[in-house]
Amino acid sequence: MNVFLNPGHAPDGNPDPGAVNAETGLRECDVAKAVADLAEGYLKEAGVTVVGNLQDDSLAAITDAANESGADVFVSIHCNAASPAAQGTEVCIYPGSAEGEKLGGCILAQITDALGTANRGLKVRTPGVNGLYVLSHTDMPAVLVELAFISNEEDAELLSSRQDDFARAIARGVTDYEQMQGKKTKG
Ligand SMILES: [Zn+2]
């Protein structure tokens, strides 16, 4: 299986760091990059081919690269932000994508099991309503993982101190999905 990873927001936060924790200064772009790089290593160890790991402020460049990469699945990695009380993990998917739903479910289960974050479920993001560019413009099953809330004190601590566990969980989610595919294609 070929995987394309997309840590969210701009490299080194320039010009777009994504969400930032007001107290600690922890930046979404840095968490996403660290987790994606660690996940790339774990995926490779598991025999999964990582055909891209691209962080860029041009979303069109990312989806063009993904569509040309031969990726079977696309995984974008982000941190959520809202009021300080909001916490937990959610995975955004494209409407009507059964494969995106399966992949998202596998990753969501692994992260919430490993980190103990609240399971906020799969979130369908509909173009023209609340669509997400990287889900709408990729040709393959795609998910956008909101690891946890960088704006919440407990979640931000996990995002800072347990990046390796988030990365392992993403890699396990992908291989869980791959095994589901294998079973299906073997009848
Ligand atoms: Zn983001």
Task: Give pLDDT tens digits for 100-140.
Answer: 999 999 999 999 999 999 999 999 999 999 999 999 999 99
Contacts (Cβ under 8 Å, ≥6 apart) of 169: 107, 110, 111, 113, 114, 115
Judge whether residue 168 has pLDDT over 60: yes
Query: Within the chain, how many helices (H) and strands (E) appear?
Result: 6, 6
Distance between Cα 44 and ligand 1 center (Å): 25
Yes or no: say if 107 and 169 are a contact pair by the CB < 8 Å rule: yes
CA geometry: angle 94, 64, 122, nearest 5 deg: 20
Q: Tell me, in angstroms, the distance from the centre of ligand 1 to residue 182's CA.
A: 32
- Going from the Cα of 144 to the center of ligand 1, the distance in angstroms, rounded, reads 9
Position 173 pLDDT exceeds 90: yes
Q: What local confidence, expressed as pLDDT, does residue 185 receive?
A: 55
Residue 175 has pLDDT above 60, yes or no: yes
What is the whole-number distance in angstroms between the Cα of residue 37 and the centre of ligand 1? 16
C-alpha angle 148/123/132, rounded to 5°?
90
What spacing in Å lies between the alpha carbon of 19 and ligand 1's midpoint?
7
- CB-based neighbours (< 5 A) of ligand 1, an ion: 8, 18, 78
Q: How far is the CA of 29 from the centre of ligand 1 (A)?
A: 8
What is the distance between the alpha carbons of residues 57 and 94, in angstroms, rounded to a whole number? 21
Distance (angstroms) between ligand 1 centre and the Cα of 34 equals 14
Q: How remote is the CA of residue 28 from the centroid of ligand 1, in Å?
A: 7
Mean pLDDT, the chain, integer = 96
Per residue in 29-86, pLDDT (tens digit) is 999 999 999 999 999 999 999 999 999 879 999 999 999 999 999 999 999 999 999 9
pLDDT of residue 57: 75
